[in-house]
């Protein structure tokens, strides 16, 4: 039996069971609510993601229906042009960030630990924090409707449309801050799942034995942690331009509007794969299960997925062919885009080969999986057309593009996710969905989808532009627009039917056995729904499709020799519930609300955030169950997480530094760098920071050997050197302002202060972490067992140091 | 029971003497970096020279202070991979915005 730590989730319902008085029922409801608010169980968090995503999906769907009603005929007046702009902006933003991404997260959360034979994710509280930040970020974005200023600059937020001059109200502020909040949530979740997958696999589950869904999840998480920093930087520039009058996107001051497009699409194209690869992973699980044969060429499918992710970083400018980048850039990005079609096509053929000769069991999940193959292929083929710049120039900003990406994101992503919903519903709820009505739901969706979006290819080809709120009588667009609107309501009806089937299943659906589909992977090895600790014993792994081999043997029917059960060395340890994730997330969103209202609200939000983060960090300090977190790679979870985070930070600082260099020499007025930078002074502060790294390694060595006197000395010394560096920076900034260089003065001031200021912010956080460790040490609460924590803080500190090494060279020394 | 830092036992780190040596090298290279910008003779090659010295310092801190030289190889991969992507994107971004033209337009 699982050894729980004391927590509301574990105790409250049991205490109140069987006492039906009203007050008791009220208390039970309260306890249930509290247990969900404080849960850190990956399965519950998965359900929370799923429910929230479905709610946001309905909101995004209603927005789409109003758009379609407005376009159902010429000269419609369902909404105004202004409202139409807000609707397509929020529809795109909602579907990408608040519906499809979190739908995938629902499956990551619920299924990944089960599929790799783990009891939870590596950082359960961080997982809860990611969810609450996502939810609050989504509510914050949609709160813009309540105050009457929804974002209306498109989901791509192109400057200069989104600058204060052209969007003076708070609408773009909601969008810009909301996306930054959602980005923070995604990066945290990304780090968490990378560590979980690399470091928490059951014994015997080598990387190449992992299910394809797990592989695609791993690829997606790397894309998330590497693709979000560039757009975060772009949004920070936009925020500084709007709030503080900097010049990142100010053409008159030497800025470049293309910069935003680049930063947005450096994120935006990998984002397409963030949306589609989870669906590819799901289909790669569903097809072998219902074809009752192994996935054809599974390693090739895995390599193709990884290649798609890698190439995804090299194709972004195909979204900018119409921006005039020149023939060389157009040719390079065109070739890269065509190359990415190869691994994608490989997957399609592998799926078809999996079906070929299989004993097909035509479940609804299989319908959706095959639907994905058909519809994504159509979307992929129109995508290859866009890879050719001359063709793309004809299609840019027409409904042909709208048709293309909906075939990819609905025909691909949503169909894949619905396949996953039907496939894993019995595992998640312990109930079966109605297969007969499910087929009706599928066909309604399939027909409705094609009726909506196939005509849009034609509408685009005959010249209907995107984002127009109405059109005239003689355009020839009316019939196909009407068809499209009818199809959209077909999709809506299908989603309504899915919701009805889900509710009916939960209320009285037939019970699901542990393995209703004769599954192949580990999640089917435990009960439906699984117990809180997932598995009584960590399951043995016999190869790819391990559970199938266990039941049916290999290709010759030879069953594996049973391996002994793997006992948990410290018993079953489950994380206890925590309030701090929701408190910390609340602090972030309060600060964002403050940015739109009053400065004191920002202060209040930051205070809540700091208290939450502090309590979060120290909640389990000293708990021996948390001391040893060494995983499959022989590395502590926290250390691996810090390295992944540092990888993400490389992209953040890389983008900041690249922007500084791209804008170097473009300021139209002074002061210029050579007139103002003080190299001798900065050399001293650089030396100071380099030496702080030496003190940091000495501190770590002292903690590892249990020398408390020296550990206290070196930790304080490192923090002190960090404070000296910050003092130098404060002095330098003050001097510059005195000499006329401010954030607003010119492009150099904007790029210099933001780059070095962000680095200074990182140093400040590092000093705070070091002083926290020093105080713990002073109080005798930093022992040898805490060495990994010191090492993790040390890694962060050294990274801040290496970033400064680069900044010192490119900003101060290079003429 | 002997006390060991969890997760740290498998990988030996450098000695204090090595750390001090690395710090000395970092100091010397920084001094060279500042020095070369004042030597007119080196002007034609000062940018690649500075970049090379900066990269050397970066590598020394990562390998010794951040222990990549001694730690599990996957840690190097999760750092170097993103670092290369970041460098590639930075060069591409500078090229595409016209600040650092690798190709003519």
Q: What is the pLDDT of residues A454-504, one digit of tens each?
A: 999 999 999 999 999 999 999 999 999 999 999 999 999 999 999 999 999
Q: From the candidates A49, A110, A175, A273, which is the catalytic residue? A: A273
A300 domain-assigned: no
A675 catalytic per annotation? no
Q: Tell me which residues of chain A, numbers 766 to 795, contact chain B at a CB-CB cutoff of 8 Å.
A: 783-785, 787-788, 791, 794-795
Comparing CB atoms, the residue among B57, B94, B99 nearest residue A805 is: B57
Contact A290, A366 (CB under 8 A): yes
Residue B24 is assigned to a structural domain of this protein: yes
For residue A627, the model assigns a pLDDT of 82
Shortest Cα distance from B67 to chain A (angstroms)?
9
Give yes or no for A369 touching B (CB within 8 A).
Answer: no
Query: Are residues B67 and B18 located together in one domain of the fold?
Result: yes
Helix (H) or strand (E) holding A573: strand A573-574
Q: How far is A313 from chain B (nearest CA, A)?
A: 8
Q: Which of A120, A241, A250, A285 is catalytic?
A: A120
Cross-chain residue pair B81–A647, CB shorter than 8 Å: yes
Minimal Cα distance from B73: which residue of A? A633
What proportion of chain A, given as a percentage, has pLDDT over 70?
Answer: 97
Query: Is position A580 annotated as part of the catalytic site?
Result: no
Question: Same domain, yes or no, for A658 and A677?
Answer: yes
- Catalytic residue of the set A466, A482, A504, A552: A466
Residue numbers of the domain that contains A741: 630-813
Residues B61 and B77 in one domain: no
- Looking at residue B100, its pLDDT comes to 65
* Pick among A632, A643, A655, A797 to test the B interface (most B CBs inside 10 A): A643
B1 inside domain: no
Residues A474, A424: one domain? yes
> What tokens were used for A756?
């070095």
Mean local confidence (pLDDT), A86-114: 98
DSSP, res B33:
H
> Distance (Å) from the C-alpha of residue A596 to the closest C-alpha of chain B?
32
Cβ contact B82–A798 (<8 Å):
no
Q: Does residue A457 carry a catalytic annotation?
A: no
Mean pLDDT across A630-653: 96
pLDDT at A602: 98
Q: A810 to chain B: nearest residue by CA?
A: B51
Query: Quick check: is A417 in a domain?
Result: yes
Residues B66 and B19 in one domain: yes
Put simply, the answer to whether B58 touches A198 (Cβ < 8 Å) is no
The residue among A399, A132, A379 whose CA lies nearest residue A279 is A379
Reported as a single tens digit per residue, the pLDDT across A550-571 is 999 987 888 888 887 777 766 7
Query: What's the number of domains chain B is made of?
Result: 2
| Distance of residue A685 Cα from the nearest chain B Cα, in angstroms | 11
For residues B89 and B46, membership in a common domain is answered with no
Number of domains in chain A: 4
DSSP state of A466: T
**Does B19 share its domain with B53?**
yes
Q: Which of B22, B58, B104 sits opposite A805 (nearest CB)?
A: B58
Residue B18 included in any domain = yes
Distance of CA A263 to the CA centre of its chain: 17
Chain A CB within 8 Å of residue B56 CB: no
Q: Is A382 designated active site?
A: no
CA–CA min distance A802, chain B (Å)? 5
**Known catalytic membership, residue A91:** yes
The enclosing domain of A697 has a CATH number of 1.20.120.80
Q: Which residues of B touch A628 (CB under 8 A)?
A: 6-7
Question: What 8-state DSSP symbol labels residue A465?
Answer: B
Whole-structure pTM value: 0.95
Q: Which of A13-17, A748-752, B54-58, B96-100 has the lowest mean pLDDT?
A: A13-17
Looking at the structure, tell me whether residues B67 and B91 fall in a common domain: no
pLDDT in tens, A38-80: 999 999 999 999 999 999 999 999 999 999 999 999 999 999 9
What is the per-residue pLDDT for A569?
67
Contact A653 B86 (CB under 8 A): yes
Does B66 reach chain A within 8 Å, measured CB to CB?
Answer: yes
Q: How far apart are CA A94 and CA A99, in angstroms?
A: 6
Overall average pLDDT of the A332-348 stretch: 95
Asked whether residue A788 falls in the same domain as residue A642, the answer is yes
Residue A623 binned pLDDT confidence (cut-offs 50, 70, 90): confident
**Residue B85 counted as domain residue:** yes
**Other CB atoms within 10 A of residue A775 CB:** 14
Residue that terminates a domain, selected from A578, A608, A627? A627
pLDDT score at B12: 63
Q: What is the token pair recorded at B48? A: 């690649």
**B80 and B63 in a common domain:** no
Please name the residue of chain B whose CA is at the shortest distance from the CA of residue A797: B66
CB–CB of A233/A665 below 8 Å?
Answer: no
Q: Which of A227, A213, A185 is nearest to A416 (CA)?
A: A213
The pLDDT score that the predictor gives to residue B7 is 45
**B5, B30, B86 member nearest A784 (Cβ):** B5
| Domain shared by A621 and A647, yes or no | no
Is B80 a member of any domain? yes
- Mark whether A610 and A702 lie in a shared domain: no
CA A470 to chain centre: 35
Q: Give A292's contacts (C-beta < 8 A, 6+ positions apart).
A: A358, A359, A361, A518
**A293 occurs within a structural domain:** no
> Which one of B6, B8, B61 has the shortest CB-CB distance to A798?
B61
In a domain, A316, yes or no: no
Q: Are residues B63 and B78 in the same domain?
A: no
A-chain residues within 8 Å CB-CB of B79? Answer: 643, 646-647, 650
Mean pLDDT of A584-602: 97
Does the active-site annotation cover A578?
no
B79 and B91 inside one domain: yes
The pLDDT of A360-385, averaged and rounded, is: 97
> A692 and A606 in one domain?
no
Q: How confident is the model at residue A26 (pLDDT cuts 50, 70, 90)?
A: confident
A660 and A608 in a common domain: no
**Shortest alpha-carbon distance between residue B96 and chain A (Å):** 7
Contact A658 B20 (CB under 8 A): no
Domain co-membership, A693 together with A791: yes
Q: Is residue A418 part of a domain?
A: yes
Q: Are residues A620 and A735 in the same domain?
A: no
Q: What is the pLDDT of residue A64?
A: 98
Is residue A681 domain-shared with residue A658, that is, in the same domain? Answer: yes
Contact status of B62 with chain A (Cβ, < 8 Å): yes
Q: What is the pLDDT of residues A762-806, one digit of tens each?
A: 999 999 999 999 999 999 999 999 999 999 999 999 999 999 999
Count H helices and E strands in chain B, helices first.
3, 0
pLDDT at B97: 86
Question: φ, ψ for residue A188 (rounded to 5)?
Answer: -60, -45
* pLDDT score for A391: 95
Distances (CA, A) of A594 to A131, A140, A238, A464, A601: 21, 12, 18, 41, 4
Sort out which chain B residues have CB atoms less than 8 A from A664's CB and list them. 99
Q: Is A466 within the bounds of a domain? A: yes
A247 is catalytic: no
Interface touch A658/B89, C-beta < 8 Å = yes
In a domain, A47, yes or no: no
Does one domain contain both A643 and A604?
no
Q: Is B100 on the interface with A (CB under 8 A)?
A: yes
* Cβ–Cβ gap A785/B61 under 8 Å: no
Percent of chain B beyond pLDDT 70?
83
Residue B8 in this model has a pLDDT that exceeds 60: no
Is the domain of B67 the same as that of B19? yes
pLDDT of residue A16: 41
A688 & A614 share domain: no
For B6, the closest of A636, A646, A694 (CB atoms) is: A636
pLDDT exceeds cutoff 90 at A23: no
Percent of residues in chain A assigned helix, strand, coil, to nearest 5: 75, 0, 25
Range of the domain at B28: 14-71
pLDDT above 60 for A12: no
CB pairs under 8 A between A and B: 200
Active site residue A120: yes
Asked whether this complex has an ipTM greater than 0.90, the answer is yes
Confirm whether B45 is domain-assigned. Answer: yes
Neighbour-count burial of A688, counting CB atoms closer than 10 A to its CB (0-12 exposed, 13-18 middle, 19+ buried): middle
**B48 shares contact with chain A (CB less than 8 Å):** no
Three-state DSSP class for residue A431: strand
Residues in chain A: 815
Question: Are residue B48 and residue B78 in the same domain, yes or no?
Answer: no
| Mean pLDDT computed over every residue of chain A | 94
pLDDT at A120: 95
Q: Is residue A728, in this structure, part of any structural domain at all?
A: yes
* pLDDT score for A59: 98
Phi (first) and psi of residue B12, to 5 degrees: -75, 135
Substitution target from A693, A704, A796, A810 for chain B, most B beta carbons within 10 A: A693
Query: In A, residues 635-694, which contact B (CB 8 Å cutoff)?
Result: 635-636, 639-640, 643-644, 646-648, 650-651, 653-655, 657-659, 661-664, 679-680, 683, 686-687, 690-691, 693-694
Domain boundary among A466, A492, A511: A511
Active site residue A639: no
**Set A41, A250, A271, A649: catalytic member:** A271
Q: What is the pLDDT of residues A208-253, one digit of tens each?
A: 999 999 999 999 999 999 999 999 999 999 999 999 999 999 999 9
Q: How far apart are the first and last CA of chain A?
A: 67
B25 has a chain A CB within 8 A of its CB: no
Helix axes A42-70, A478-508, angle to 10 degrees: 150
Instruction: Give the C-alpha separation, A405 to A100, whole Å.
Output: 13
Domain match, B18 and B55 both: yes
Backbone angle region of A397, left / alpha / beta, with phi > 0 → left and psi within -120 to 50 → alpha: left
């Amino acid at each position: 039996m699982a050894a729980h730590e004391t927590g509301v989730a574990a105790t409250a319902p049991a205490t109140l069971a069987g006492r039906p008085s009203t007050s008791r029922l009220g208390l039970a409801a309260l306890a249930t609510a509290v247990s969900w608010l404080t849960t850190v169980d990956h399965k519950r968090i998965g359900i929370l993601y799923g429910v929230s995503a479905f709610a946001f999906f309905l909101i995004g769907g209603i927005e789409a229906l109003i758009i379609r009603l407005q376009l159902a005929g010429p000269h419609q007046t369902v909404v105004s042009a202004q409202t139409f702009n807000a609707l397509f902006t929020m529809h795109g933003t909602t579907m990408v960030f608040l519906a499809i991404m979190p739908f995938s997260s629902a499956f990551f959360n619920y299924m990944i630990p089960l599929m790799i034979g783990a009891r939870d994710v590596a950082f359960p509280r961080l997982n809860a924090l990611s969810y609450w930040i996502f939810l609050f970020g989504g509510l914050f974005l949609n709160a813009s409707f309540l105050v009457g200023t929804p974002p209306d600059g498109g989901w791509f937020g192109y400057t200069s449309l989104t600058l204060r001059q052209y969007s003076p109200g708070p609408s773009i502020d909601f969008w810009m801050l909301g996306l930054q909040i959602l980005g923070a949530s995604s990066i945290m979740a990304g780090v968490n799942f990378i560590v979980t997958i690399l470091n928490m696999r059951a014994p015997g589950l080598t990387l190449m034995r992992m299910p394809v869904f797990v592989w695609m999840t791993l690829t997606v998480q790397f894309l998330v942690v590497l693709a979000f920093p560039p757009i975060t930087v772009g949004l920070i520039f936009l925020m500084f331009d709007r709030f503080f009058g900097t010049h990142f996107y100010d053409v008159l001051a030497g800025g470049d509007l293309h910069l935003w497009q680049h930063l947005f699409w450096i994120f935006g194209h990998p984002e397409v794969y963030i949306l589609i690869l989870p669906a590819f992973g799901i289909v790669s699980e569903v097809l072998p299960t219902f074809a009752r044969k192994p996935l054809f060429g599974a390693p090739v499918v895995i390599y193709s997925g990884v290649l798609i992710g890698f190439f995804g970083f090299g194709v972004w400018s195909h979204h900018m062919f119409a921006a005039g980048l020149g023939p060389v850039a157009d040719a390079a990005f065109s070739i890269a885009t065509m190359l990415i079609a190869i691994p994608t096509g490989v997957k399609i053929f592998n799926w078809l080969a999996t079906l070929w000769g299989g004993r097909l069991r035509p479940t609804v999940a299989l319908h959706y999986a095959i639907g994905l193959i058909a519809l994504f292929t159509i979307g992929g083929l129109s995508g290859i057309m866009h890879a050719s710049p001359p063709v793309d120039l004809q299609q840019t900003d027409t409904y042909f593009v709208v048709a293309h990406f909906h075939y990819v994101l609905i025909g691909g992503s949503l169909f894949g996710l619905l396949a996953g919903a039907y496939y894993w519903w019995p595992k998640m709820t312990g109930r079966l969905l109605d297969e007969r009505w499910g087929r009706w739901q599928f066909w309604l969706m399939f027909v409705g989808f094609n009726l909506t979006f196939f005509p849009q290819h034609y509408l685009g080809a005959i010249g209907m532009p995107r984002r127009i709120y109405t059109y005239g009588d003689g355009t020839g667009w009316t019939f196909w627009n009407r068809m499209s609107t009818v199809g959209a309501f077909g999709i809506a009806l299908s989603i309504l039917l899915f919701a009805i089937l889900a509710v009916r299943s939960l209320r009285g659906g037939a019970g699901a056995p542990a393995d209703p589909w004769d599954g192949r992977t580990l999640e089917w090895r435990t009960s439906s729904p699984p117990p809180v600790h997932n598995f009584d014993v960590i399951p043995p792994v016999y190869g790819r499709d391990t559970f199938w081999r266990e039941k049916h043997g290999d290709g010759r029917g030879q069953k594996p020799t049973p391996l002994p059960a793997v006992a948990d060395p410290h018993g079953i340890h489950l994380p206890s519930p925590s309030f701090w994730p929701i408190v910390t997330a609340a602090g972030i969103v309060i600060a964002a609300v403050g940015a739109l209202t009053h400065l004191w609200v920002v202060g209040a939000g930051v205070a809540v955030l700091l208290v939450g983060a502090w309590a979060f960090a120290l909640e389990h300090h000293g708990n021996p169950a948390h001391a040893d977190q060494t995983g499959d790679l022989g590395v502590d979870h926290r250390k691996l997480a810090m390295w992944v985070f540092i990888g993400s930070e490389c992209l953040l600082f890389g983008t900041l530094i690249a922007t500084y260099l791209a804008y170097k020499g473009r300021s139209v007025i002074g002061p210029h760098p050579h007139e103002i930078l003080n190299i001798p002074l900065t050399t001293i502060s650089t030396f100071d920071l380099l030496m702080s790294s030496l003190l940091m390694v000495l501190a770590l060595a002292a903690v590892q050997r249990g020398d408390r006197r020296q550990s206290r000395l070196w930790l304080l010394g490192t923090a002190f050197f960090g404070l000296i560096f910050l003092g130098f920076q404060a002095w330098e900034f003050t001097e510059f302002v005195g000499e006329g260089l401010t954030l607003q003065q010119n492009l150099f001031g904007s790029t210099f202060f933001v780059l070095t200021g962000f680095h200074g912010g990182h140093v400040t956080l590092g000093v705070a972490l070091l002083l926290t460790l020093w105080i713990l040490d002073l109080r005798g609460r930093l022992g040898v067992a805490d060495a990994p924590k010191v090492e993790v803080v040390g890694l962060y500190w050294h990274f801040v140091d290496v970033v400064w090494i680069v900044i010192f060279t490119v900003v101060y020394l290079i003429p | 029971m002997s006390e060991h830092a969890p997760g740290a036992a498998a990988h030996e780190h450098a000695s204090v003497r090595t750390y001090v040596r690395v710090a000395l090298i970092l100091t010397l290279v920084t001094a060279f970096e500042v020095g070369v910008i004042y030597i007119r003779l080196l002007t034609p090659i000062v940018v690649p020279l500075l970049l090379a010295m900066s990269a050397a310092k970066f590598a020394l801190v990562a390998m010794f202070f951040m222990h990549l030289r001694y730690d599990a190889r996957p840690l190097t991969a999760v750092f170097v991979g993103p670092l290369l992507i970041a460098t590639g994107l930075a060069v591409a971004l500078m090229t595409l915005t016209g600040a650092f033209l690798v190709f003519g337009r």
